[in-house]
Amino acid sequence: MPGTLLHLTGRISNVIKHRWSRLLSSDAAIKPYYITTPIFYPNSVPHIGHLHSIVIGDILARYARLLHPKRQAKLVTGTDEHGLKIQKAAQARGMEPLAFCDELSEHFRALVKKADVDATRFSRTSEKQHCDAVQHLWRQLEAKGFIYKGQHSGWYSVSDECFYPELQVSRKSSSDGAEEEVFVSTETGSLVEWTEEENYKFRLSAFQARLREHFAAHPRAIYPPQHHTDILQSLAEDTPLEDLSVSRPRSRLKWGVPVPGDDEHTIYVWIDALTIYLSSVGYPWTQQAGDGFSSGWPPNVQVIGKDILRFHAIYFPAMLAALDLPFPKQLLAHSHWTVNKHKMSKSVGNVADPIEAIDEFGIDIVRWYLARVGGHFKDDVDWSHEQLDKHSKEITALLGNLYSRITSPKIMERGQSDTRPPLLRLVRPETDTFLEKALQVLPAYRENMDELQIAAALEHVVSVLHETNALVTQTKPWDKNTHMELVSAVYHLTLDVLRMCGVLLQPFMPGKAGMLLDAMHVPEDQRTIEFADIRRPWAGYVEPTPVKLFPMPRAKAE
């Protein structure tokens, strides 16, 4: 083996050993790895943005299990069911709010199942256990002096369920052509109306310095970096935070958690909703010294849409600081999916239906597309049936066709053996450069995944599949004129790369990756990250079984 290749394999081995020992020496063996998605507002059926959030959460949870299979990984998703918007939508349907939520929540639960998302809990804010947790949290904040009663006035958005400061409100001509002007949020475009009322307030202003110090000291606490910069700017000393209105008069909002000891007020829906991340792992933890560590607190990653960043990066950490609880370790604020370069809207009629896409292409292809195209997170991405079809063909060609080629009768007959030859015996002039590149895939994949650069991690898998297909084409292992030693080297190296890719693709395409590993007879206990090292043969090697990973879809009936 050339010296450069020996040096490379040694360096990669040291990197993997270092990271593995660091993981084992951390809290991994004690604290569950905890990931949350947004809890979705069930005022309508799910769209592709909802699917994107839960798939990204599932990818991270499955990756955590690859890294440390003995460590529990918790993934929580669910529905946010209280608030004025739900109350009005239920009234418009002539239904009780809970019955209305029961119906629509099932759509989201069904989406989780159809998306092959391995969620450990589907939480609903209408559950009694959660409502009790919200009231407990309120009492704790009140006992510490962080909640007080006062007058509040401001621009309120029913659809966004929040007040906006004057600087975030602008005038706009009425959409129905009337002469009068309306006021809208500059952030969301939602209508706002001036509201004055007596309610309870949370001393958000008391935590501005604490939050600013936290985010300044933890540059990776919010990803992508531009959102971290935005939050730090909003916490600057010259832009003081206002105390947060945390209740609504019960005369206006009945569908929500009552303020403890005051039947005239309902707890603000965002205080209610944010508490779900605590209640989903057993808060209040009266038997665990109040920290919830063994249940998974704090979250390792919270996956959210960028439009709800302020609630998760400012309001929620301030609540946690008031309760002396640790902050979530990292927020992943992904961008939005658009259709024809426009925001999805029911009124416009451009809402992308995730169920329709899954039924047409299969969930593994849709998950591949969501991660491959939507895994950069920095900019909005346009949903496109044509692009989905393009990426379907990409993975079918790179992975499905490669497996079909290497398990063709001619190549298997010439390349197969009773045992898998050691890696050093497979290196030949024709495979040396290829092997150097293949050995870099695992550490590069891990580095990207650890940095939440999901699309970049997939790019390394795509690249090595391209290289492997090219190697098979160039060396022609099916040709009787190709030397048998080269045939054996290409055959087994290709199988090793396919095994590696099968392991690495499990978080992204669990169905197809599992199907590939099954066909290659890779034991269940050898599908973790350490077995993605192509220098490590799997025990009990058995020749692969030819299968069609991506069969042609049936033609639609006329």
Q: What angle do CA 491, 494, 496 make, to 5 degrees?
A: 110
Angle in degrees, CA 76, 79, 81, rounded to 5: 145
| pLDDT level of residue 5 (50, 70, 90 thresholds) | very low
Distance CA 529, CA 49 (A): 29
Residue 432 pLDDT: 84
Q: Are the C-beta atoms of residues 427 and 1 closer than 8 Å to each other?
A: yes
| Contact in structure between 79 and 39 (CB atoms under 8 Å) | yes
211-236 burial, b if ≥16 CB within 10 A, otherwise e? bbebbeeeeebbbbeebbebbbebbe
Residues above pLDDT 70, as percent of the chain? 88
The two tokens of residue 111 are: 């989406």
Contacts of 485 (CB under 8 A, 6+ apart): 428
Quick count: other Cβ atoms within 10 Å of Cβ 309? 18
What average pLDDT does the segment 538-545 reach? 83
| Mean pLDDT for the stretch of residues 512-529 | 96
Distance CA 453, CA 84 (A): 37
DSSP string, 310-367: HIIIIIHHHHHHHTT-PPPS-EEEE--EEETTEE--TTTT----HHHHHHHH-HHHHH
Cα–Cα distance, 202 to 145 (Å, whole number): 9
- Tell me the pLDDT band of 178, cut-offs 50, 70 and 90: low
70 — phi, psi (to 5°)? -85, -5
- Does residue 281 carry a pLDDT above 90? yes
Each residue of 479-510: pLDDT tens digit?
A: 999 988 888 889 989 999 999 999 999 999 99
Rounded-to-integer distance, Cα 374 and Cα 303, Å: 13
In the predicted structure, residue 16 carries a pLDDT above the cut 60: no
Who's near 526: CB < 8 A, 6+ residues apart?
538, 539
* Mean pLDDT confidence for 285-294: 79
For residue 12, what pLDDT band results from cuts at 50, 70 and 90? very low
Give the tens place of pLDDT for each residue, 352-381: 888 999 999 999 999 999 999 999 999 999
64 pLDDT band, cuts 50/70/90, is: very high
Alpha helix (H) ranges present in 407-535?
A: 409-415, 423-426, 432-439, 441-450, 454-475, 484-504, 510-519
Strand partners, 124: 79
| Residue 484: per-residue pLDDT | 87
Q: Is the pLDDT of residue 25 over 60?
A: no
Q: What is the pTM of this model?
A: 0.88
Q: Provide the pairing of β-strand 342-343 with 337-339.
A: antiparallel
Token reading at 132: 């009790």
The reported pLDDT for the residue numbered 193 is 84
Give the CA dihedral 126, 130, 131, 132, nearest 10 degrees.
150
Name the strand (E) or helix (H) holding 3: helix 3-25
Could you tell me which of 296, 378, 225, 357 has the C-alpha nearest to residue 61?
296
Q: What mean pLDDT value characterizes the chain?
A: 88
Q: What values do phi and psi take at 447, rounded to 5?
A: -60, -45
Report the first-to-last Cα separation within the chain, whole angstroms.
59
Over residues 172-194, the mean pLDDT reads: 73
Tell me the three-class secondary structure of 365-433, residue by residue. HHHHHHHHHHCCCCCCEEECHHHHHHHHHHHHHHHHHHHHHHCCHHHHHHHCCCCCCCHHHHCCCCCHH
- Interatomic CA distance for residues 204 and 206, integer angstroms: 5
> Domains of the chain by range and CATH?
33-142+268-357 (3.40.50.620), 384-532 (1.10.730.10)
Does residue 147 surpass a pLDDT of 50?
Answer: yes
514-529 average pLDDT score: 96
Query: What count of Cα atoms within 13 Å lies in the side-chain half-sphere of residue 509?
Result: 28
